[in-house]
């Protein structure tokens, strides 16, 4: 559970980041092999090491994608930014039901340990809010921060 929470936090932090620094240590051969076999046509690949995982940012099929791979070569999570027209009906309905005072800034589709969900970054007049929405439409508020 702790590892899943750490990975979820890493996904949230990486979603907010724009630039990736080069990894502080060489990338393990197992991680490289997993990446190469899973994302054969990836371009503009950037590796960063964080929390015992490698964050790989790259382009594939004209999409910006992020993947988290362990040093042992396990693919932990994959994320891509999507618009509301590319989510399921139940997810779109849940987003609409967040309220009229909520403005959606980004929607990230995340596949973590085989579970597909969406991270929705939104704002109200006074707060920045991050929601996790499952494919069945269940919503969990992950964070709520006062705007500065």
pLDDT, mean of residues 27-46: 95
Q: Residue 26's pLDDT is what?
A: 86
Q: pTM of the prediction?
A: 0.78
Q: 114 in the Ramachandran plot: left (φ > 0), alpha (ψ -120 to 50) or beta?
A: left
Are the folds of 1-77 and 83-148 the same?
A: yes
Are the beta carbons of 127 and 145 closer than 8 angstroms? yes
Closest listed residue to residue 138, CA positions, set 102, 91, 105, 92: 91
Domain range 83-148, CATH architecture: Roll (3.10)
Domain range 1-77, CATH architecture: Roll (3.10)
Q: Tokens for 101, please give them.
A: 């005072």
* Least confident span in 8-17, 19-28, 95-104: 8-17
Q: Tokens for 129, please give them.
A: 């809010």
| Domain ranges, ordered by start, for the chain | 1-77, 83-148
In which band, very low, low, confident or very high, does the pLDDT at 25 lie, cut at 50, 70 and 90?
low
The secondary structure of 82-102 as a DSSP string is E-GGGS-HHHHHHHHTT-TT-
């Amino acid at each position: 559970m702790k590892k899943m929470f750490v990975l979820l936090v890493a996904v949230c932090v990486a979603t907010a980041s724009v630039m990736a620094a080069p990894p502080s240590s060489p990338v393990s051969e197992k991680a490289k092999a997993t990446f190469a076999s899973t994302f054969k046509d990836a371009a503009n690949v950037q590796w960063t090491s964080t929390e015992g995982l490698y964050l790989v940012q790259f382009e594939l099929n004209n999409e910006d994608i992020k993947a988290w791979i362990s040093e042992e070569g396990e693919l932990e999570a994959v994320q891509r930014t999507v618009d509301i027209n590319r989510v399921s009906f139940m997810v779109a309905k849940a987003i609409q039901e967040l309220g009229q005072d909520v403005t959606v800034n980004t929607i990230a589709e995340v596949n973590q340990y085989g579970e597909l969900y969406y991270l929705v970054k939104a704002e109200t007049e006074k707060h920045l809010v991050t929601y996790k929405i499952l494919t069945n439409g269940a919503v969990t508020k992950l964070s709520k921060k006062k705007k500065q």
